[in-house]
Copies of this chain bind each other. A is one copy, B any other.
Amino acid sequence: MSFNTFGKIFRFTTWGESHGPAIGCVVDGCPPNISLSEKDIMKDMSRRRPGQSKFTTQRKESDSVKILSGVFQGKTTGAPISMIIYNEDAKSRDYESIKNKFRPGHADYTYLLKYGIRDYRGGGRQSARETAARVAAGAVARITLNKLIGKKFKVVGAVTQLGLLGCDKSNWNEKEIRKNSFFCPDKKSVKLWEKYLLTVRKSGSSCGAIIELRASGIPAGLGAPIYSKLDADLAGALMSINAVKGVNVGAGMSAAFLSGEENSDEMKKVSGKIKFKSNNSGGILGGISSGQEIVASFAVKPTSSILNSRETINKKGKNTKISVKGRHDPCVGIRAVPIGEAMMSCVILDHYLLNKAQCS
């Protein structure tokens, strides 16, 4: 993990700014002989794509991915896979009015302090537009894992908390997640969430979210103690997503409130199969996958670009006010679902390959 590159064996490097001509990524270390097409990748891209409902930004991007290298006659060759996504609906004028002000909650101030120069158009490199490239890389990881360990491999994400509203996780329904505009797993919550988010948006404000990821079909033994533990790498990967402020694995922060008996997952052999009686570990013990479902969640802060006026300073250090118009998601957490899935897929594939090197 270094600057704009993620991963150890399966590595991807992303590039591009929100309002530049294009964004993209180079995936390196993908095993050869995996069937891969632009169409396959678009399945994942379309889930992150903006402009699909009234609850996300109205920026129109087809997010078409073009593969420029690394695939020959429909199969990966072991060479780096370069993918490019052209920016189609960048409206830089929207940003002229705020180019000299630091938007609270954004990285305008820190980018300028660090680099001494800042591409203010749509946030430049700091924009969440970068995550489209991650989803493309994640799609390659997902397809590769489905080839290497079979269809049983699956990563599913869902929004389990939308601002102040939770949902009933015991109603978790994968099909439902694909149907509604919120990736909400609980059909009963959807209507209420719609009303709530419309209110938030109309009030010129925004709200946060919690996303839960569940990965199944993962073999035991993945994860490299001590400093490349599977959960440590997952935490770094998820925290690297724009606007994420917290990461839990299994019981997560709540583990602090449990007793030793409640927390540690007892084991039992039932009908010849080893079973865990609970999954507070989130499928990871000592940094290594146990064969249970891997469960992680992360919190996304509310969109910082809001209509309501806020106090800030400008580049000259003068006090001023700011109200961000543009086209913004009232809850950026929603579109973080496919991004979280992508990062988790990449981490799992990376460790799958690493484990082959170490222990096969």
Partner of A104, one of B207, B229, B267: B267
Per the bound structure, the CA–CA distance linking A229 and B236 in Å amounts to 9
Contact present for B359 and A114 (CB under 8 Å):
yes
Partner of A318, one of B232, B258, B269: B269
Q: Quick check: which of A51-59, A116-124, A168-176, A181-189 contacts chain B, the rest being far away?
A: A116-124
Partner of A226, one of B116, B119, B240: B240
Partner of A260, one of B8, B269, B285, B306: B306
Contact present for B249 and A245 (CB under 8 Å):
yes
Residues 279-315 of chain A, each 1 if its beta carbon lies under 8 Å from chain B, else 0: 0111011111111000000011111101010111100
Chain B residue numbers with a CB within 8 Å of A31 are 358-359
Closest to A333 in B: B256
Contact present for A1 and B227 (CB under 8 Å):
yes
Partner of A254, one of B247, B262, B299, B356: B299
Interface members, chain A 209-226 (any B CB < 8 Å): 209-210, 220-226
Residue A255 at the chain B interface, CB threshold 8 Å: yes
Chain B residue numbers with a CB within 8 Å of A289 are 110
Per the bound structure, the CA–CA distance linking A318 and B2 in Å amounts to 45
Residues 308-348 of chain A, each 1 if its beta carbon lies under 8 Å from chain B, else 0: 10111100011100000000000001000000000000000
- How many A residues touch B, CB cutoff 8 Å? 151
Closest to A283 in B: B110
Chain B residue numbers with a CB within 8 Å of A79 are 4, 15, 17, 119, 124-125
Chain B residue numbers with a CB within 8 Å of A252 are 245-246, 253, 299
Q: From residue A345, how far is it (CB to closest CB) to chain B in Å?
A: 16
Residue A198 at the chain B interface, CB threshold 8 Å: no
Closest to A208 in B: B256
Given contacts A285-B106, A311-B267, contact A11 B1 (CB under 8 A): no
Chain B residue numbers with a CB within 8 Å of A265 are 104-105
Residue A357 at the chain B interface, CB threshold 8 Å: yes
Partner of A20, one of B68, B115, B255, B301: B68
Contact present for B11 and A3 (CB under 8 Å):
yes
Closest to A219 in B: B113
Q: List 30 A-B contacts (CB under 8 A).
A: A2-B8, A4-B227, A14-B226, A15-B79, A15-B81, A20-B68, A29-B357, A77-B117, A77-B119, A77-B124, A105-B264, A105-B281, A105-B285, A106-B285, A114-B221, A114-B223, A114-B355, A114-B359, A130-B226, A205-B260, A207-B258, A236-B236, A245-B250, A245-B255, A252-B299, A256-B301, A264-B301, A264-B302, A280-B301, A354-B357
